[in-house]
Amino acid sequence: MEIESSVPLMVNPACPCDGNDLLLLCALMGRAIIRVGCCDSCGYVGYIDKPTREWFDMFYRSVWDKADTKTAKEKPYVRGLHEAAVEDIVNCYKIAKNARILEMGSGYGNTLYHLKQLGYTDLAGVEPSSHRVESAKRGSTIPTIRAPFEEAPLDAPYDLIYSFHVLEHVYDPAVVVKKCAALQPEGGYLVFVVPHKESVMTTLLFLPHLHRYTEYALSGLLTHAGYRVRKCVISDQEITIIAQKHKTEKVFYQFGLFKETLDYFRNRLGVGTHWYHPRLLWWYRTIGYDEGGQLPFLFPSLLWRWMWHFHHKAPLQAAVVEDAPHKTTAPLEIQFSGNIQMLIK
């Protein structure tokens, strides 16, 4: 998707997780300029310049939902990883069968349906996608509100609020978490699962994922809203954080994460001196395969990587790149010959 100069951009100079200034990490340059920043204290990475909330609402209603509708298929319910994860959570924290449970971004309703099968009786979902809500209602009587979570009229309180791979999509995560806190009683549980180890190019160019979180960023975000982190589990694919509404405790950050993040991005982008032109910048789209670099165009090892892709079902993406003189003060720059090209699926 092209970001034309007519797209309205908002400046977001502060980290949404702890309020500190974002340090300039990378500049995406076309007919418009989009800066990407990193928080030195929690390692959060996100756009300093991003399209307005109204633009994103239109994007999700038209482009995203329309593309999703074409590929969506009616499928019988199958217990998957997220259903298993929420079952483990309700069992571990002894969530009562009559507890009020809300899923943020409930999609096709599979996880809520699984909880109903386990005997939970007071369930609800919020989902902005119209065709997903319609599909969920065809398969279940669990009430689902079609609206963005920030705008949904919800009947508080909720003993458990959870979401899977939603927080990276929301426009302002601080607003979302504050609303969760307003909907929950003291002692209520809040669970977020977000991607981990997405490729650097996915972080920079995959427009729907507005935020790249670390465990420190998530902890700060929740603590500032009045939660105490009970558990944080990190795998190659996901970060799962479980928090309980509690009196606010002091947040301790470790500084120096900007340099660590910059070095990591440089390595994954293959930044350095190259003696061959043009080159292929390659990366994996699949969460959990945060690898990438640069190779000579049509280099034999790229063929090996394509074979690896077909064997492991991890989408490999590539772009032809050449050296260009720096135009900004950003330590990293990606320059486009025309409009900035963003990925949307």
Please state, in angstroms and rounded to a whole number, the distance separating the CA atoms of residues 311 and 309.
Answer: 5
Closest CA to 237 of 308, 295, 178, 289: 289
Q: Which residues pair with 190 in a beta bridge?
A: 161, 243
The architecture CATH gives domain 81-245 = 3-Layer(aba) Sandwich (3.40)
* pTM, rounded to two decimals: 0.91
Please state, in angstroms and rounded to a whole number, the distance separating the CA atoms of residues 186 and 173.
Answer: 21
Contacts of 276 (CB under 8 A, 6+ apart): 296, 297
pLDDT in tens, the chain (345 residues): 899 989 999 999 999 999 999 999 999 999 999 999 999 999 999 999 999 999 999 998 888 777 666 444 555 455 567 888 899 999 999 999 999 999 999 999 999 999 999 999 999 999 999 889 988 888 889 999 999 999 999 999 999 999 999 999 999 999 999 999 999 999 999 999 999 988 899 999 999 999 999 999 999 999 999 999 999 999 988 999 999 998 766 666 678 899 999 999 999 998 877 777 788 888 877 777 777 888 777 655 555 566 556 555 667 787 888 888 989 999 999 999 999 999 887
Please state, in angstroms and rounded to a whole number, the distance separating the CA atoms of residues 309 and 319.
Answer: 16
Q: Where are the domains of the chain?
A: 81-245, 275-322
Q: What does the block give as tokens for 327?
A: 């135009």
Closest CA to 258 of 330, 195, 308: 330
One-letter amino acid of 115: L
Q: Please report the beta strands in 267-310, taking only residues with DSSP state E, as ranges in sequence order.
A: 279-284, 292-296
